[in-house]
Amino acid sequence: MDFFTRRLNGNDGRSPAAEARRWRAWHALALFCAVWLTLLPLPAQADGINVRTVELEPLEDGYLLDADFDLELTPTLVDAVSHGVTLDFVLEFDLWRPRAWWFDESVTSFREHRRLSFVPVTRMYRLNLGSSYETFPSLADALHALSHVHAMPASDRVALHRGQRYEASITLRLDTSQLPKPLQIETLSSREWQLSSPVHRFSVTPG
C-alpha cells in the first residue's frame, strides 16, 4: 500500500530535494533547447529581385514585352562589381498554349544576357544589353536600366489566336556560372551571391 501511496503523491519515493534537482535539470534542458533553436539558420528571405509589373502590349504586327523588376544587390555583389567583377544577368521569357490532353504548345521562348561592369578609367558603370551597351555615372542608374524591359519583341501577331488563353512566364537572375572560377566556389556556400527572381507566371488572352 505504501508503494501505491507514493505513486499517487507523484514523487515515486523521491525526496523533495531530489524532485527540486529533477525540475531544475528539466528547466535547464528546456532553456538550452530554446537557445539552440534561435541559433539555427533562418528560412531563406525573399530574393533580391522581384517582378513589379509585366505586360504584353499588342501591336498591329505582334506583341511587345514590358516589365519592371525590383532589383537590389547584396553588399557582397556591390563590393564585387565596384572592384572590377563583371555581373552577368539572364532575362528569360516563355509563352505557350496549355493543352489538356497533350503537351503544351510553345509559342516563343528567349533569353537575353545583361552584363553589368565597372570601368575604372572613366569611373562609369557599363551595361551591355545583348549587342548594345550604355554607360551610367552611378550604380543605381545602371541597376534601374538593368531591371527595366521596354518594348522587347515577344511574339508575332499571327502566332496568337483571338479568344485563346495562353500562359507566360518571366524571370531575371544572376548567372553565377559566368563569375571567375574562385568566386563560383564561394557561391556554393554563401547566399550573398545568390540573386534570382521567382518565376512570375501570367495569362494572356488576345481580344
The pLDDT assigned to 187 comes to 83
The cell numbers describing 31, all together, are 532553456
Report how far Cα 200 is from the mean position of its chain's Cα atoms. 11
pLDDT, average across residues 161-180: 93
The pLDDT assigned to 22 comes to 60
Lowest mean pLDDT among 13-27, 98-112, 122-136, 189-203: 13-27
pLDDT surpassing 60 at residue 76: yes
**Helix runs in the chain, H state only:** 2-9, 16-38, 75-82, 139-146, 181-187
| Per-residue CA distances from 50 to 18, 53, 195, 199 (Å) | 58, 9, 10, 9
pLDDT surpassing 70 at residue 152: yes
pLDDT surpassing 70 at residue 1: no
Band of residue 207 on the pLDDT scale cut at 50, 70, 90: confident
pLDDT, average across residues 40-66: 75
Provide, rounded to the nearest whole percent, the portion of the chain with pLDDT above 90. 53
pLDDT surpassing 50 at residue 193: yes
pTM of the predicted protein model: 0.73
The pLDDT assigned to 59 comes to 86
pLDDT surpassing 70 at residue 36: no
| Per-residue CA distances from 161 to 38, 86, 96 (Å) | 55, 42, 12
pLDDT surpassing 50 at residue 3: no
pLDDT surpassing 70 at residue 38: no
